[in-house]
A and B are shown apart, each in its own frame.
Chain A
Amino acid sequence: MSKTHIKLSATAAKLWFGNKQVLKSVNVAFPQNKITALIGPSGCGKSTLLRCFNRMHDLSADVMIEGDFLLEDQTLYNGKLSATEVRRRIGMVFQQANPFPKSIYDNINYGLQINNIPKDQRPGIIENALKESYIWDEVKDDLQKPATRLSGGQQQRLCIARAVALRPEVILMDEPCSALDPISTAKIEELILRLKKDYTIVIVTHNMQQAQRIADQTIFMYLGEIIESGNTKQIFKKPVNELTKNYVKGHFG
């Protein structure tokens, strides 16, 4: 295998909520055009780590972050990149589908307008994003319908469309399938696999089968630390660490 290009990374990342330390010196690297799965028991800090990369913690008081976060070779915090630029280049799909209380069309149009994409290009981009997210056929007849009236799975795909419409470089997904039925889940997995050729993807999941189906690389977290990371096959078939072995076999978590 050729040397992989690291798109996004964190070195010695530490995070405190007030005086409670949630991330304890985390080192991770996400290779370009690969899917990385982040697994671990509830409360171990997966979402917290993910949200460091698009600076979502900036919005809450009482959060302290240390360590180096890099997109390519640019630092995400206190460097040349502004928070809004970081978020534009690193998109996010949240655990709970969160479309705006606007129409389907406006849900995607909002980001385009915020980022000053010329008006005449927007309809094309919106259609394309909806197609890429496998939701076009279901919504093409009524793009003015309120997004909140879509089913949970459709909403989640709309949120993915909203993220991909901006052509970010990285897409962070926090349990995008946690509220979905198997058919919607399969659709989203298919979508994620297709998106891989254009994007670098990090996905948090509690579903061991899902991680094995789609991830190239898997990272196991426990109590705010990275316990083991590596090739997905290796993590699931031949885990080195005892904790990893127990977790992937379903003995705790």
Chain B
Amino acid sequence: MKLALREKTDQTAKLLFRMTGLMVIAILADIFFMLLWNTVAFFLKVKPWDFISGTQWNPSGNPANYGILPLLVSTSLVTLGAMCIAIPLGIGTASFLSDYAGRKLKSVLKPTIEMLASIPSVAIGFLGIVVLGPGIARITGQSNGLNALNGAALLAIMSLPTIITVAQDALEGVPNAYKEASYSVGANRWQTLLQVTIPAASPGILAAVMLGVGRAMGETMTVLMATGNASAFPKGFFHSVRTMTATIAIEMGEVPYQTTHYYALFAIAAVLFLMTLLVNIVGEHFVNKYRKYQAA
């Protein structure tokens, strides 16, 4: 009798897990199709080329303008700036952790860096408004520091944990034999790191960078708070910009249902989705290549 009961719970559990699994897949498919559906609806009204190459985003104008070039440039600018800061810092930190830091220091630094990843983006955006923004404003003599540079710096902070962790794994995966070979011809640590370890780990480091780019591109709350969101065509790092994510977040709340503007926001999301997907595929490709290399 006990056996029968156990059989029954087993069956129920199996059913339950299968259902939750299917549900997750169904939800994902739903989101994807919603995105696709609305994007198609938008492109029936506005030509894709006009959408991508238009230099003005002004959905409430007359006539309305649905050019996402300024948003694309904003997102690219902020992401590029973030990477200019995060890549050297991230690779430097990863190298330090893997080749220089003692065991004790490492056991403190590693969890600290991982903790950085768990700070909510609102908190980092807040940091941008009250600390970084005024700082930038003082240095540049502008009235406020809510601009692309501010957003880039914050995004750099947010993508650092990913970059450091993945790059460190790559560096530590370099066979010891390579390093020993380098030392055995009289190279010092710095030469070994720069000329042997980093080149050997480059696929993994590239993957780290790609994951960092993906993280920076999709981030919303921080850039929304820190970059000022001016809808004019972005002029540079010291000017306010409005990224794709921020645009969707700002306008989605007020847009009337099933208008062209409403569909346009979905189209932005679709473009963003394609971009992050591409970055992730490239990153994943290098991670796999690096795994193969490690096994060899």
Contacts and interface: CB of A to CB of B under 8 A. Distances in A.
A114 B191 contact: yes
Given A110-B195, A114-B191, A56 B183 contact: yes
Interface in B149-189: 175, 177-188
B102 interface: yes
A94 B184 CA distance: 10
A84 B179 contact: no
Interface residues of A, number: 25
B186 A85 contact: yes
Given A100-B196, A110-B195, A94 B181 contact: yes
A22 interface: no
Contacts of A7: none
A56 B184 contact: yes
Identify the interface centre among B102, B179, B180, B184: most chain A CB within 10 Å of its CB. Answer: B184
Given A61-B102, A87-B186, A166-B186, A98 B181 contact: yes
A100 B179 CA distance: 9
Identify the interface centre among B102, B181, B186, B188: most chain A CB within 10 Å of its CB. Answer: B186
B186 A111 contact: yes
Identify the interface centre among A85, A87, A99, A166: most chain B CB within 10 Å of its CB. Answer: A87
A107 to B, nearest CB: 9
B170 to A, nearest CB: 14
Contact of B188 (A56, A84, A163): A84
Contact of A114 (B103, B178, B185): B185
B192 to A, nearest CB: 9
A100 B182 contact: yes
Given A94-B177, A98-B177, A110 B182 contact: yes
A159 B102 CA distance: 31
Nearest to B191: A114
B282 to A, nearest CB: 22
A74 interface: no
A154 B182 CA distance: 19
B200 interface: yes
Interface string A69-95: 000000000000000110110011010
A130 to B, nearest CB: 16
Given A61-B102, A101-B200, A110 B180 contact: no
B181 A100 contact: yes
Contacts of A59: 179-180, 183
Interface string B238-277: 0000000000000000000000000000000000000000
Contacts of B188: 84
Interface in B184-223: 184-188, 191, 195-196, 199-200
Contacts of B185: 87-88, 91, 110-111, 114-115, 162-163, 166
A94 B180 contact: yes
A159 B177 CA distance: 12
Contacts of A54: 184
A110 B102 CA distance: 28
Contact of B184 (A61, A91, A96): A91
A111 B178 CA distance: 13
Contacts of B175: 98
Contact of A87 (B177, B183, B199): B183
Nearest to B293: A101
A59 B177 CA distance: 12
Nearest to B296: A148
Nearest to B177: A98
A84 B187 contact: yes
A100 B186 contact: no
Contacts of A111: 185-187
B103 A61 contact: yes
Given A84-B186, A98-B180, A114-B191, 18 more contacts: A56-B180, A56-B184, A59-B179, A61-B102, A85-B186, A87-B184, A88-B186, A94-B177, A98-B177, A98-B181, A100-B178, A100-B196, A110-B182, A110-B185, A110-B187, A110-B195, A110-B196, A159-B181
Ranked 7 nearest A-B pairs via Cβ = A111-B185, A88-B186, A98-B177, A92-B184, A98-B181, A114-B187, A84-B186
28 contacts: A54-B184, A56-B184, A59-B179, A59-B183, A61-B102, A61-B103, A87-B185, A94-B177, A94-B181, A98-B175, A98-B177, A100-B178, A101-B199, A102-B199, A110-B182, A110-B185, A110-B187, A111-B185, A111-B186, A111-B187, A114-B185, A114-B186, A159-B181, A162-B181, A162-B185, A163-B184, A163-B185, A166-B185
